[in-house]
Amino acid sequence: MDSTAQRSQAPARQRDKAQERTKDRVTARAASKKAMTQTSEPGAQSNRRRNPNKPYNDIDLSQWKDYDHVLTDSLWMMESRTKRDGHQLDYHGNFIPQIANQMMLRYTKAGDTILDYFLGSGTTAIEAHNLGRKCIGVELQSRMADYVQTKLSELGACETSQVIVGDSADLQWTGGKISQALRAWEQEAGQFAFLHPPYDDIIKFSENEQCLSNAESTEAFLDGFERVCQQAYNFLEKGRFACLVIGDKYANSELIPLGFYCMERMMRVGFKNKSIVVKNMTGNEKGKGKTANLWRYRALAGGFYIFKHEYVMVFQK
């Protein structure tokens, strides 16, 4: 091919290359726009956006309107404790089953293991059985542990419940027993923790010197409670939740914000505070009617208000 022919074809080749570059830019812009559009679509976000359901409960968020029975407000006005499904008011100081019910529905799945570090009369174990969960409970008093075992047996809940007689603040001995109980179910950690300690020395639950209600001072009570918090933290699966049920107290004509002191101890061992619910206390005290007028007189005379609330605090590991 002579030089004249080559010169005549040069402009054509330049046009072709220019067209190819233009086509590439258009293709690139189109691809970028498509990617941005896909990213902005709800279904193209992370797996969490595509599937909003939480890994720690059985709530189907696509049907969220069907869960009116699951509370989400921070003020709970509950009626007297339910006495159905194995529950009864048989122990001074036990929390109402409705608290256990709400916490388990909100923060656990069927088959999960609940750890209760102040088992008392077994409210948590009974409600766990009712909801298809398992429970490992620690109780300091052997007579109460035996009583709970009897109730669980009558309910047919022995296979889904384990009761440990021990001090929840003992990280070694009781910690070993908790580990052993978890291994019996082929687990290393539980999926939820309940802590409902004595409200310092307001009620003496036993003569056992290890009982937190017998602590020499509020500071000693808090130190013992912190060890229980550590125990709860150690045996809770990462990312899962714990519930502290606690109230305040009066001493020496002064309000002691026990609930917030306990909250601080929970956070000190590593828990993150997620929420604080204020709940009424009406209808869960044995024999309170006999002293109601006396407390009203004392309130008027002393310048304070009678406690009608307690706290349901939620934490996450």
Domain boundaries, the chain: 3-47, 71-316
Phi and psi angles of residue 25, each rounded to the nearest 5 degrees, phi first: -65, -40
Which DSSP string do the residues of 20-83 spell out, in sequence order?
HHHHHHHHHHHHHHHHHHHHHSGGGS-HHHH----TTS---GGGGGG-TTS--SSEE---SPP-
* Confidence at residue 47, expressed as pLDDT on a 0 to 100 scale: 47
CA-CA distance, 201 to 195, in Å (whole number)? 17
Task: Supply the pLDDT for residue 86.
Answer: 55
Select from 119, 112, 131, 106 the least CA-distant residue to 189: 112
If residue 301 lies in a helix (H) or strand (E), which one and from where to where?
Answer: helix 292-302
Q: What is the CATH number of domain 71-316?
A: 3.40.50.150
- pLDDT, residue 196, reads 96
The amino acid at 176: G
Token duo for residue 51: 């599937």
Ranges in the chain, pLDDT < 70:
1-51, 81-94, 205, 282-292
pTM > 0.75: yes
What is the edge-to-edge ordering of all strands in the sheet holding 113-116?
Answer: 75-76, 272-280, 309-316, 236-246, 190-195, 113-116, 134-139, 161-165
Please list the residues that pair with 137 across neighbouring strands.
116, 163
Q: Which pLDDT belongs to residue 50?
A: 64
Count of helix runs (H) and strand runs (E) in the chain: 9, 10
Residue 116, classed as helix, strand or coil, is strand
**pLDDT on residue 207:** 75
Phi, psi of 195 (to 5 degrees): -130, 115
Query: What's residue 212's pLDDT?
Result: 85
pLDDT at 85: 55
